[in-house]
């Protein structure tokens, strides 16, 4: 993967701009700075290696050289999409999941934003917003996808098992440019449908642990049966007293001992 091959592969998409780095701290940091100084909608920051890749809540994201995709997509939402702002994570998760399905794999979305294959994490998403007063000026959607085996961090660094497309396919995956093209094509498709029920239905079908007892982390962990999604992308659980509980933040895991 290099700047030339990326530009060539992505030329059929309507991209706002592209900044490519052989190595960078974090593509999200670069994208946040670029968005603040006026990057056009659908601009991309892509790196072959990240030295300080970030996950959520200050966690680290591992992207060694020549191993995976580290991409930050800058979005400027048209006014008509603002009411669906909270669905953006779903767009990204669905786009990566559909790309995995297209490769013959069976992905699941661990709410809110992890993509799993065979119960192991193959991709993660970090969304950061830039505000102008009370309004969102732009969003940076950071996507990390483990393509080759070398992208998988050592087990001792992980709280959750990880995998790569190469491991799951048992053979060489398509080139990273090709995988990114598919993810961005799916993203474009779903972005045009951000306000539809279809988006929520398909996203919901791909949820990991549906019908199972889960725990959602947070100040007070919430446990219950994972039922599905609300129309804003929040998670719906049924607690022990059969009451419906809506969760907006947190990480889902299977309930220990369930």
By beta-carbon proximity to ligand BT5, the closer residue of 29 and 98 is 29
CB neighbourhood size of 212 (10 A): 12
Site for ligand BT5 in 210-229 (CB under 6 A): none
Which residue's CB comes closest to ligand BT5? 124
Q: Using only C-alpha atoms, what is the Rg of the chain? A: 18
Interface residue with ligand BT5 among 20, 28, 229, 237 (CB under 6 A) is: 28
Site string for ligand BT5, 134-163 (x = CB under 6 A): --------xxx-x----x-x----xx--x-
Minimum CB separation of residue 139 from ligand BT5 in Å reads 13
Q: How far is CA 223 from CA 93, 136, 144, 209, in A?
A: 23, 32, 28, 13
Minimum CB separation of residue 127 from ligand BT5 in Å reads 9
Q: Counting contacts by CB under 6 A, is residue 34 touching ligand BT5? A: no
Cis peptide before 37 (omega within 30 of 0): no
By beta-carbon proximity to ligand BT5, the closer residue of 43 and 146 is 146
Do residues 111 and 237 touch, judged by C-beta distance below 8 A? no
By beta-carbon proximity to ligand BT5, the closer residue of 163 and 198 is 163
Q: Give the list of residues 6+ apart from residue 221 with CB closer than 8 angstroms, or none.
A: 215, 250
Nearest C-alpha neighbor of 28 from the set 48, 54, 64, 3: 54
C-alpha 100/C-alpha 103 separation (Å) is: 5
Burial class for 56, CB neighbours closer than 10 Å (0-12, 13-18, 19+) = middle
By beta-carbon proximity to ligand BT5, the closer residue of 21 and 193 is 21
By beta-carbon proximity to ligand BT5, the closer residue of 71 and 77 is 71
Interface with ligand BT5 (CB under 6 A): 26-28, 50, 53-57, 59-63, 70-72, 114, 121, 124-126, 142-144, 146, 151, 153, 158-159, 162
């Amino acid at each position: 993967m290099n700047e030339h091959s990326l530009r060539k592969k992505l030329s059929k998409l309507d991209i706002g701009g592209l900044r490519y780095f052989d190595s960078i701290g974090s593509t999200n940091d670069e994208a946040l700075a670029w968005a603040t100084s006026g990057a056009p909608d659908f601009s991309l920051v892509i790196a072959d290696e990240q030295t300080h890749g970030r996950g959520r809540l200050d966690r680290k994201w591992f992207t060694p050289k020549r191993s995976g995709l580290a991409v930050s997509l800058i979005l400027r939402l048209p006014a008509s999409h603002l009411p669906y702002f909270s669905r953006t994570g779903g767009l990204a998760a669905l786009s990566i999941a559909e790309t995995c399905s297209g490769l013959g794999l069976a992905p699941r979305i661990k709410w809110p934003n992890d993509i799993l294959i065979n119960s192991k994490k193959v991709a993660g998403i970090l969304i950061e917003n830039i505000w102008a007063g009370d309004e969102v000026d732009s969003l940076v959607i950071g996507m990390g996808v483990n393509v080759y085996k070398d992208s998988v961090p050592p087990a001792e660094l992980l709280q959750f098992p990880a995998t790569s497309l190469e491991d799951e396919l048992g053979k060489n995956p398509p080139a990273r440019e090709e995988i990114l093209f598919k993810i961005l094509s799916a993203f474009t498709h779903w972005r045009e449908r951000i306000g539809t029920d279809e988006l929520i239905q398909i996203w919901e079908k791909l949820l990991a642990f549906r019908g199972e007892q889960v725990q959602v982390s947070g100040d007070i962990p919430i446990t219950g049966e994972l039922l599905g999604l609300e129309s804003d992308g929040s998670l719906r659980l049924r607690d022990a007293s059969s009451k419906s509980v809506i969760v907006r933040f947190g990480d889902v895991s299977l309930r220990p001992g369930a």
